[in-house]
Structure 1
Amino acid sequence: MENIYLLMLVALAALAVADLVVGVSNDAVNFLNSAIGSKAISFRTIMIVASLGIFIGAVFSSGMMEVARKGIFVPGEFYFEEIMIIFMAVMITDILLLDFFNTLGMPTSTTVSIVFELLGAAVVMALIKISASDTETIANLGTYINTEKATEIISGILLSVVIAFTIGALVQWLSRLIFTFHYEKKIKNFGALFGGVALTAIGYFIFLKGLKGTPYYDDFKWVLEEQTLLLVAGSFVFWTLFSFLFMKLFKKSILIVVIAVGTFGLALAFSGNDLVNFIGVPMAAYHSYEAWIASGEAASTFSMEILESKVPAEPFLLLIAGAVMVLTLWFSKKAKTVTDTEIGLSRQGEGHEKFSPNVLSRAVVKGSTKLVSALGGMIPQATQDKISASFEKPVVQLPKHKTYELPAFDMIRASINLVVAGVLISIATSMKLPLSTTYVTFMVAMGTSLADRAWGRESAVYRVAGVLNVIGGWFFTAFSAFVAAGTMAYLIYLGKGTAIAILLLLAIGLLIRNYISHKNKSNKVVPHDELKKAESSTVQGIIEESADNVAKAVARTNKIYSSIITGLAKQESSKLKKSKQRVSKLSDEVDDLRNNIFYFIKNLDEGSVRGSNFYILILGYLTDVTQSLEYIAKVSYKHVHNNHKALRFNQIKDLQEIDNSFESLLKDIEEIFENREFEKLGEILVRKKKAFDDISAMIEKQITRTRTEESSPKNTTLYFSLLLETKDLVTALMHLMEEYYKSYSKE
Structure 2
Amino acid sequence: MSDYYLFILFLLFILAISDLIVGVSNDAVNFLNSAIGSKVTSRRNIMIVASLGILAGATFSSGMMEVARKGIFNPEYFYFSDIMVIFIAVMITDIILLDLFNTFGMPTSTTVSIVFELLGAAVAVSILKIAADGTSLNTLGDYINLSSALVIISGIFISVLIAFAIGSIVQYFSRLLFTFNTDRHKTWARTIWSALALTALTYFLLIKGVSGASFVSDGLVERIQGNTMITLGLSYFIWNILLLGLQAFFKVNVLKIVVLFGTFALAMAFAGNDLVNFIGVPIAGYESYLAWSDSGVSAMAYDMTVLSEPIRSKTYMLVAAGIIMIITLWFSKKARSVTETEVNLGRQNEGNERFKSNKLSREVVRYSLYLGDRINVILPNSWLEKAEKRFQTLNEKDPKELINNRPAFDLVRASVNLTIASILIAFATSLKLPLSTTYVSFMVAMGTSLADKAWGRNSAVFRLSGVFNVIGGWFFTAILAFTAAAAFATFIHYFDIKAIGILVLLAIFLISRTFILHKKKEKRKTARKQFEQRTATISFSESIRETSENVIITLELISDTYEQALLGLLKEDRQLLQKSNKNIMLLKERQRELKGQLFGLIKRLEESPTESGRLYLLIYDLQQDIVQSISLIVETCNEYVLNSMDPVRRINVKPIQEVLKTSKSYLAQLIGMIKNQDLQNLAELLAIKKDVFILLEKSLSNQIIGIHQGSLGMRNSLLMFTILLESKDLIAVAARFAKLYDRIKYTPGEKEVYLIKSN
Cα distance, 1:724–1:507 mapped onto 2, change above 3 Å: closer
Cα distance, 1:517–1:660 mapped onto 2, change above 3 Å: closer
Question: Displacement of 1:519 after TM fit?
Answer: 4.4
Q: Which consecutive residues of structure 2, in runs of 5 or more, have no partner in the other structure?
A: 746-754
Hey, what does 1:567 align to over in structure 2?
Answer: 568
Cα distance, 1:241–1:12 mapped onto 2, change above 3 Å: same
Hey, what does 1:251 align to over in structure 2?
Answer: 251
Deviations 1:309-353 (A, max 9, x none): 222332222222222222222222222222222122222223332
Question: Displacement of 1:508 after TM fit?
Answer: 4.0
* 1:168 counterpart = 2:167: yes
Which 10-residue stretch deviates more, 314-323 or 593-602? Answer: 593-602
- The within-5 A match list for 1:327-342 is 327-342=327-342
Question: Displacement of 1:436 after TM fit?
Answer: 0.8
Which 10-residue stretch deviates more, 151-160 or 72-81? Answer: 72-81
Checking the alignment, whether the CA contact within 8 Å between 2:24 and 2:328 is kept in structure 1 is yes
Hey, what does 1:473 align to over in structure 2?
Answer: 473
Checking the alignment, whether the CA contact within 8 Å between 2:399 and 2:603 is kept in structure 1 is no
Q: Which amino acid in structure 2 is aligned with residue 602 of structure 1?
A: K
- Distance in 1, matches of 2:494 and 2:243, equals 63
Hey, what does 2:589 align to over in structure 1?
Answer: 588
Hey, what does 1:357 align to over in structure 2?
Answer: 357
Question: Displacement of 1:270 after TM fit?
Answer: 0.7
Question: Displacement of 1:541 after TM fit?
Answer: 4.2
Hey, what does 2:142 align to over in structure 1?
Answer: 143
Q: Which amino acid in structure 2 is aligned with residue 207 of structure 1?
A: L
Hey, what does 2:193 align to over in structure 1?
Answer: 194
Hey, what does 2:373 align to over in structure 1?
Answer: 373
Checking the alignment, whether the CA contact within 8 Å between 2:351 and 2:403 is kept in structure 1 is no
DSSP-derived class of the 1:596 partner: helix
Question: Displacement of 1:439 after TM fit?
Answer: 0.9
Deviations 1:164-189 (A, max 9, x none): 11111111111111111112330545
- Distance in 2, matches of 1:516 and 1:570, equals 31
- The within-5 A match list for 1:303-702 is 303-398=303-398, 402-519=402-519, 521-522=521-522, 537-605=538-606, 607-685=608-686, 689-702=690-703
DSSP-derived class of the 1:377 partner: helix
Hey, what does 1:37 align to over in structure 2?
Answer: 37
- Distance in 1, matches of 2:533 and 2:703, equals 42
Checking the alignment, whether the CA contact within 8 Å between 1:28 and 1:335 is kept in structure 2 is yes
Q: Which amino acid in structure 2 is aligned with residue 639 of structure 1?
A: Y
Deviations 1:80-136 (A, max 9, x none): 2222222222222222222222223222111111111111122222222222335x3
Q: Which amino acid in structure 2 is aligned with residue 312 of structure 1?
A: R
- Distance in 2, matches of 1:482 and 1:584, equals 33
Cα distance, 1:408–1:733 mapped onto 2, change above 3 Å: same
Deviations 1:377-412 (A, max 9, x none): 322333223222222222335575844321121111
Deviations 1:261-281 (A, max 9, x none): 111111111111111111112
Checking the alignment, whether the CA contact within 8 Å between 2:207 and 2:225 is kept in structure 1 is no
- The within-5 A match list for 1:58-97 is 58-97=58-97
Cα distance, 1:271–1:685 mapped onto 2, change above 3 Å: same
Deviations 1:56-101 (A, max 9, x none): 1111111111111111111122222222222222222222222222
DSSP-derived class of the 1:299 partner: coil
- Distance in 1, matches of 2:599 and 2:495, equals 62
Deviations 1:2-40 (A, max 9, x none): 332223222222222222222212211111111111111
Checking the alignment, whether the CA contact within 8 Å between 1:206 and 1:422 is kept in structure 2 is no
Cα distance, 1:548–1:486 mapped onto 2, change above 3 Å: closer
- Distance in 2, matches of 1:545 and 1:730, equals 23
- Distance in 1, matches of 2:541 and 2:46, equals 43
Checking the alignment, whether the CA contact within 8 Å between 2:61 and 2:272 is kept in structure 1 is yes
Which 10-residue stretch deviates more, 260-269 or 446-455? Answer: 446-455
Hey, what does 1:180 align to over in structure 2?
Answer: 179
Q: Which amino acid in structure 2 is aligned with residue 297 of structure 1?
A: V
| TM-score, with length taken from structure 1 | 0.93
Cα distance, 1:674–1:148 mapped onto 2, change above 3 Å: same
Deviations 1:687-713 (A, max 9, x none): 554443333233223233333362312
Cα distance, 1:391–1:132 mapped onto 2, change above 3 Å: same
Checking the alignment, whether the CA contact within 8 Å between 2:540 and 2:607 is kept in structure 1 is no
DSSP-derived class of the 1:394 partner: coil
Cα distance, 1:393–1:217 mapped onto 2, change above 3 Å: farther
Deviations 1:111-162 (A, max 9, x none): 111111111122222222222335x311111112211111111100010111
Checking the alignment, whether the CA contact within 8 Å between 2:352 and 2:597 is kept in structure 1 is no
Q: Which amino acid in structure 2 is aligned with residue 727 of structure 1?
A: K
- Distance in 2, matches of 1:512 and 1:665, equals 41
Cα distance, 1:401–1:301 mapped onto 2, change above 3 Å: same
Checking the alignment, whether the CA contact within 8 Å between 2:666 and 2:689 is kept in structure 1 is no
Question: Displacement of 1:203 after TM fit?
Answer: 0.6
Hey, what does 1:100 align to over in structure 2?
Answer: 100
Which 10-residue stretch deviates more, 428-437 or 357-366? Answer: 357-366
Q: Which amino acid in structure 1 is aligned with residue 89 of structure 2?
A: A
Checking the alignment, whether the CA contact within 8 Å between 1:587 and 1:627 is kept in structure 2 is no
Question: Displacement of 1:200 after TM fit?
Answer: 0.6
- Distance in 2, matches of 1:700 and 1:474, equals 57
Cα distance, 1:413–1:729 mapped onto 2, change above 3 Å: same
Hey, what does 2:751 align to over in structure 1?
Answer: none
- Distance in 2, matches of 1:498 and 1:560, equals 44
Q: Which amino acid in structure 2 is aligned with residue 149 of structure 1?
A: S
Checking the alignment, whether the CA contact within 8 Å between 1:682 and 1:741 is kept in structure 2 is no
Checking the alignment, whether the CA contact within 8 Å between 1:685 and 1:738 is kept in structure 2 is no
Q: Which amino acid in structure 2 is aligned with residue 715 of structure 1?
A: N
- Distance in 2, matches of 1:639 and 1:285, equals 56
Hey, what does 2:748 align to over in structure 1?
Answer: none
Hey, what does 1:272 align to over in structure 2?
Answer: 272
Question: Displacement of 1:513 after TM fit?
Answer: 4.6
Cα distance, 1:562–1:500 mapped onto 2, change above 3 Å: closer
| TM-score, with length taken from structure 2 | 0.92
Q: Which consecutive residues of structure 1, in runs of 5 or more, have no partner in the other structure?
A: none
- Distance in 2, matches of 1:399 and 1:372, equals 31
- The within-5 A match list for 1:704-719 is 704-708=705-709, 710-719=711-720
- Distance in 2, matches of 1:440 and 1:262, equals 14
Cα distance, 1:485–1:241 mapped onto 2, change above 3 Å: same
- Distance in 1, matches of 2:592 and 2:100, equals 30
Which 10-residue stretch deviates more, 223-232 or 257-266? Answer: 223-232
Checking the alignment, whether the CA contact within 8 Å between 1:532 and 1:593 is kept in structure 2 is no
- Distance in 2, matches of 1:617 and 1:513, equals 39
- Distance in 2, matches of 1:560 and 1:96, equals 34
Cα distance, 1:341–1:608 mapped onto 2, change above 3 Å: closer
Deviations 1:453-494 (A, max 9, x none): 222222222222221222222211111221222222222222
DSSP-derived class of the 2:669 partner: helix
- Distance in 2, matches of 1:629 and 1:81, equals 59
Checking the alignment, whether the CA contact within 8 Å between 1:533 and 1:593 is kept in structure 2 is no
Q: Which amino acid in structure 2 is aligned with residue 151 of structure 1?
A: L
- Distance in 2, matches of 1:273 and 1:234, equals 27
Hey, what does 2:282 align to over in structure 1?
Answer: 282
Cα distance, 1:239–1:497 mapped onto 2, change above 3 Å: same
Checking the alignment, whether the CA contact within 8 Å between 1:58 and 1:319 is kept in structure 2 is yes
How many equivalent pairs are there?
A: 745
Q: Which amino acid in structure 1 is aligned with residue 717 of structure 2?
A: T
